[in-house]
Amino acid sequence: MLKFSIEAKSGKARRAILKTAHGDIRTPAFMPVGTAATVKAMTPDMVLNCGADIILGNTYHLMLRPTAELIAKMGGLHKFMNWSKPILTDSGGFQVMSLSSLRKISEEGVKFKSHIDGSAHLLTPERSMEIQYLLGSDITMIFDECPSFPITHAKAKKSMELSLRWAERSKKSFIKRDGYGLFAIIQGSVYEDLRKISATELHDIGFDGYAIGGLAVGEGHKLMVDTLKFTMPYLQENKPHYLMGVGKPIDIVAAVKEGIDMFDCVIPTRSGRNGQAFTSSGTVNIRNEKFKDDNKPLDENCSCYSCKNFSRAYLNHLFKAKEILGSILLTNHNIHYYQNLMHEIREQISADNFDNFALEFMAKYS
Amino acid sequence: MLKFSIEAKSGKARRAILKTAHGDIRTPAFMPVGTAATVKAMTPDMVLNCGADIILGNTYHLMLRPTAELIAKMGGLHKFMNWSKPILTDSGGFQVMSLSSLRKISEEGVKFKSHIDGSAHLLTPERSMEIQYLLGSDITMIFDECPSFPITHAKAKKSMELSLRWAERSKKSFIKRDGYGLFAIIQGSVYEDLRKISATELHDIGFDGYAIGGLAVGEGHKLMVDTLKFTMPYLQENKPHYLMGVGKPIDIVAAVKEGIDMFDCVIPTRSGRNGQAFTSSGTVNIRNEKFKDDNKPLDENCSCYSCKNFSRAYLNHLFKAKEILGSILLTNHNIHYYQNLMHEIREQISADNFDNFALEFMAKYS
């Protein structure tokens, strides 16, 4: 129930528009992560001014606090956090594995204890769909099991098969509405045969978009790209392709080259709070002593609020003094950098110059 | 070297314009505190949008980190922190007493160790003037000794006399420039005879403005107002009057009633980071459980960004989840509340209705 229109292609890279109930998403798109109903250290206006068309919310965090029911009562996640553009929510599957304790996985779903207060919860495909419906997500993700990495072929197969059964249950309980979509998640770790089965069977069920899950879990850039190379041919071309949890700028450029349309990652926000910035000259840590009397902007080629108004010396001071404004300004810059990169990627696709751009980009920043 | 034009009076309250090198200050004015070259949790744009004409910087903090010399090298405090409106800096006298360790006071000045790294420093009237000059402050404060409270008459007298000698030295080393001014600080604790001597002798030396120091140190609202009542008659009427470190909204209204024109205080910013908000219905702590599903804005009568765009339920969630955005939004609201209060005070003075307004305000919020 989502309209996806490819506007231009360059090699395997595609530029498109994905239409949702809360507006259009220009792809390739990067979704800043708004875990607990806030993109950390940013006002929604700042996120908007950076050029983001869509943000991501985390089902796991929101179901525990303040709860999906409370957010629904307050008018849904968009209204609650004052973000009127599209929102994608993950299914809780990944975070329940990485954050909760005392997990017990069964055919039914995952029993776990909250990392906040130790309370017991059960997350099933049906409950995940219900939570994402209560939140009002434009794009709902199916509930899947996220296997660890590295994992044996046998275990990856068993997990992928469980995820397939959960995908069917997710689709069954997803309430169809115009402008709202359900994305599948292809699993299978780094095994081509498993990725093929997962992709093929998910396409048989039929979804509005297809995500690649189980990457960005420590496998490294090369194995990630290799996995994409053998997985992407099994994806339906006229649907959006989303690489979950990725990544660094070079990962994004490499993945767009393989036909990926959507990304999310905590890197720009988390790095921003830690003093690390992405710039046209590569990554820099603003805490570095060499910046203490450097009157130049963080990135001389950047037009963001942080770069137009403040010096490296000032940012260095803010981080030394542990001032909140340091986190605000660097997060703002990093999100702007990522959105600007996506803009550049889209332009290069339109100019049918993406593969050259990608080669140069990888050479410069690898 | 500052022009101060009284535009309206209502009882002892005055409305005026104080002209500085970086623009006009509408008084009565409240100065948000920007201790370490940032009003905590705010961008300078946000402070500006709240209606502030002037902010305060702390000499003690800035001399230690990043140092006045570095700020001067970066083009001065206004440029460093991207605040183009007026800045008042305190002299370091108060913070050296409250924050540093191993203080040793002599006729020359105060030797102390930094609370940041234990390094040894000497602050004298001459050095304080030099630091504030390096920062580029529109309004420089004389270097004084801030006595503790309570204090005996004998000790308060001795301290006040030392501060008078330091005031003379401050004036001598202050570099006069058009649009830049030097304010004296009247001491004498809660003793009328000492306040009279301090005020009279400081007026004999001659300054661009007169501050009341040594209040807001735990003496309470009544003793503060009583001290103002017997001190204010000794102040030159055609100069600005600044009550340092004050305070709560009721303190401000009561002090304007006695003829005070300028205020600074960390209350709106510190409270904001702690979840406490000033509203038209009094102070509220947004962490309170009763707000968790309250869809109303923080203050229904407020037009700030925080109140126009977010609910109490959302703010309550942000504070529970320890999200930076909570501090941003509540600080923004509180600064807006204070600036709005000053606007209302000025309008009530223009309408010659200030004493009635003050009575009603005190009755409602005391």
Which structural domain range is residue B277 located in?
Answer: 271-359
Count of domains observed in chain A: 1
Q: Which of B265, B300, B318 is the last residue of a domain?
A: B265
Does ipTM exceed 0.85? yes
* Residue B250 and residue B182 in one domain: yes
- The pair of three-digit structure tokens given for residue A345, joined into one six-digit string: 């990627």
* Residue B276 and residue B344 in one domain: yes
Find tokens 């003037």 and name the residue: B129
Q: Are B250 and B365 in contact (CB under 8 A)?
A: yes
Cα(B187)–Cα(B172) distance, rounded to whole angstroms? 20
User: What 3-state class would DSSP assign to B215?
Assistant: coil
CATH, residue B8 = 3.20.20.105
- What sign has the CA pseudo-torsion A221, A53, A173, A207? negative
Mean pLDDT of A39-50: 98
* Residue B241 and residue B323 in one domain: no
By the 10 Å C-beta count (0-12 exposed, 13-18 middle, 19+ buried), B159 is classed as buried
Mean pLDDT of A250-264: 98
* Residue B58 and residue B188 in one domain: yes
- The pair of three-digit structure tokens given for residue B116, joined into one six-digit string: 């940041």
Mean pLDDT estimate for chain B: 97
- The pair of three-digit structure tokens given for residue A105, joined into one six-digit string: 């996985």
Q: Which of B235, B265, B295 is the last residue of a domain?
A: B265
Residue B4: its pLDDT value, please? 98
* Residue B150 and residue B136 in one domain: yes
Cα(A345)–Cα(B366) distance, rounded to whole angstroms? 60
Mean pLDDT of A243-259: 98
* Residue B90 and residue B229 in one domain: yes
Q: Are A277 and A331 in contact (CB under 8 A)?
A: no
* Residue B167 and residue B283 in one domain: no
Enumerate residues 288 to 347 of chain B having a beta carbon within 8 A of any beta carbon in chain A: 292-293, 295, 305, 309-311, 313-314, 316-318, 320-321, 323-325, 327-329
Mean pLDDT of A6-32: 98
Of chain A, the percentage scoring pLDDT greater than 90 comes to: 95
* Interface test with chain A among B47, B314, B315, by most A beta carbons within 10 Å: B314
Is residue B364 one of the residues assigned to a domain?
A: no
Convert the pLDDT of each residue in A120-172 to its tens digit.
Answer: 999 999 999 999 999 999 999 999 998 889 999 999 999 999 999 999 999 99
Q: Which of B237, B265, B293 is the last residue of a domain?
A: B265
* Interface test with chain B among A74, A293, A316, by most B beta carbons within 10 Å: A74
Is residue A250 one of the residues assigned to a domain?
A: yes
Q: Are A179 and A3 in contact (CB under 8 A)?
A: no
Is residue A85 one of the residues assigned to a domain?
A: yes
What is the model's pTM? 0.98
Interface A–B counts its CB contacts (< 8 A) at 105
- Give the chain B residue nearest A39 (alpha carbons): B325
Convert the pLDDT of each residue in A277-306 to its tens digit.
Answer: 999 999 999 999 999 999 999 999 999 999
Is residue B366 one of the residues assigned to a domain?
A: no
Query: Which amino acid makes up residue B60?
Result: Y
* Residue B122 and residue B8 in one domain: yes
Name the pairing type of β-strands A55-57 and A29-32: unpaired
Residue A179 confidence class, pLDDT cut points 50, 70, 90: very high
Enumerate residues 34 to 93 of chain A having a beta carbon within 8 A of any beta carbon in chain B: 36-38, 40-45, 65-66, 70, 73-75, 80-82
Residue B65: its pLDDT value, please? 97
Residue A366 confidence class, pLDDT cut points 50, 70, 90: confident
Convert the pLDDT of each residue in B15-58 to its tens digit.
Answer: 999 999 999 999 999 999 999 999 999 999 999 999 999 999 99
pLDDT at position A102 over 90: no
Is residue A121 one of the residues assigned to a domain?
A: yes
* Residue B202 and residue B335 in one domain: no
Using alpha carbons only, give the angle A211, A216, A220 rounded to the nearest 5 degrees: 130
User: What 3-state class would DSSP assign to A30?
Assistant: strand
Nearest Cα neighbor of B342 from B66, B28, B62, B13 is: B28
Mean pLDDT estimate for chain A: 97
Active site residue A24: no
pLDDT at position B179 over 80: yes
Is residue A360 one of the residues assigned to a domain?
A: no
Partner-chain contact B43 A329, CB within 8 Å: yes
* Least confident window among A253-257, A278-282, A362-366, B93-97: B93-97
- Give the chain A residue nearest B295 (alpha carbons): A74
Q: Are A352 and A65 in contact (CB under 8 A)?
A: no
Is residue B365 one of the residues assigned to a domain?
A: no
Strands laid side by side in the B87-89 sheet: B29-32, B262-265, B241-243, B209-212, B181-186, B139-141, B87-89, B55-57
Is residue A275 one of the residues assigned to a domain?
A: no
